[in-house]
Amino acid sequence: MDEGELMRDDIFGVLYDAGACSVGTTPAMPVPAGEADGLDDWLERGYNAGMEYMHNWRAVRLDPRLLLEGARTVISIAFPYQASRGIVASYALGDDYHEVLRGVLSEAVSTLKERYGGEYRICVDSAPILERYWAERCGVGVRGRNGLISVPGVGSRVFLAEIVTTLELPEAKYEISDRSHISDMSGVMSRSCKGFCPEGCRRCLDACPAGALQDNGRVDARCCLSYLTIEHRGDWDSVGERAMKTPAGRNTLFGCELCLRACPMNSVPAQSREDKVLSRLRPRPEIEALRGEDVLDMTQPEFSRIFRGSPIKRAKLAGLQRNARNMSGGEEE
């Protein structure tokens, strides 16, 4: 191995030790025309619903070099989280992943600075960057028909993060050899969902209760239960109301992961995925046991206490109680 490969592998080791389940690198460069996740078409169709901020920072989204002066490399990182089947999306059962991942990655970056110098920009849903595009390009995983990145041996229950750095690292996709702490990471996967999803599989599409998931993996947020229960403020319009009155909508307090549950790529043994979940990302018993009726009479102080440091705070008490009222009379799946 040359010096660059040794440095890359050491960096990968630092990130795996921080809790990552997959890591990859690729040169920082503009996203080629036609490969931008259909961003413009998605916006033109109004699939962003009330997320007007998605119109902002287009140039930055398409060129990660604008995030950090002198950027040479994008490092994509996946961290696993634990599956659950309650009325709260699994990813939200633990501490807020934005804070948790930024914390562990900040420590990792401090180590890298000591060893190699350079500048770094950590992105955990905190910067306008096309996360799934870079995860695929770095070989971290492959996008399925549900639009999510699936990591071999882990599935699609992963958080994505990126480090943009001025270090120049060789491109790598699961190419760390002779590292016992890197398992199920050999070989380069196809970047096409057709080469990853089982032939003819439409389980995720069929599982989407209001047709929010499109055949090309894009999501129409206007009828997506996750958007409607988390991001949307106030009353739902007629499209959102129809989605939330479906049996699945009646059984949703915060977020939706029906497409994840349906995906055969997530049928990997839980042990192989959950052993590596960071402790702060594991479910909190009080949140995992939450029922809709528990929320209806919740006071603001109770909300603040129960969801301190939780991503559920994003919905605010008013939004969560709106969702709980909608659940009245709903049946479990």
First to last CA, the chain: 53
Beta strand ranges found along 56-127 (DSSP E): 73-80, 120-123
DSSP, res 257: -
Q: Are residues 323 and 252 in contact, defined by beta-carbon separation less than 8 angstroms?
A: yes
Residue 175: both structure tokens together: 């190419």
Strand, helix or coil for residue 68: coil
> In Å, how far are 50, 55, 140, 258 from 36, measured between CA atoms?
21, 14, 17, 26
Q: Residues 11, 276, 213, CA angle at the centre, nearest 5°?
A: 95
Q: How far apart are alpha carbons 280 and 282 in whole angstroms?
A: 6
Strand, helix or coil for residue 122: strand
Q: Are residues 253 and 225 in contact, defined by beta-carbon separation less than 8 angstroms?
A: no
Q: Residues 167, 32, 265, CA angle at the centre, nearest 5°?
A: 85
Q: Does the annotation count 63 as an active-site position?
A: no
Exposed / middle / buried, residue 293 (Cβ in 10 Å: 0-12, 13-18, 19+): exposed
Exposed / middle / buried, residue 73 (Cβ in 10 Å: 0-12, 13-18, 19+): buried
> In Å, how far are 230, 269, 275, 291 from 154, measured between CA atoms?
26, 8, 11, 29
Strand, helix or coil for residue 315: helix
Catalytic residue among 10, 63, 125, 294: 125
Residue 259 is which amino acid? C
Active site members: 125
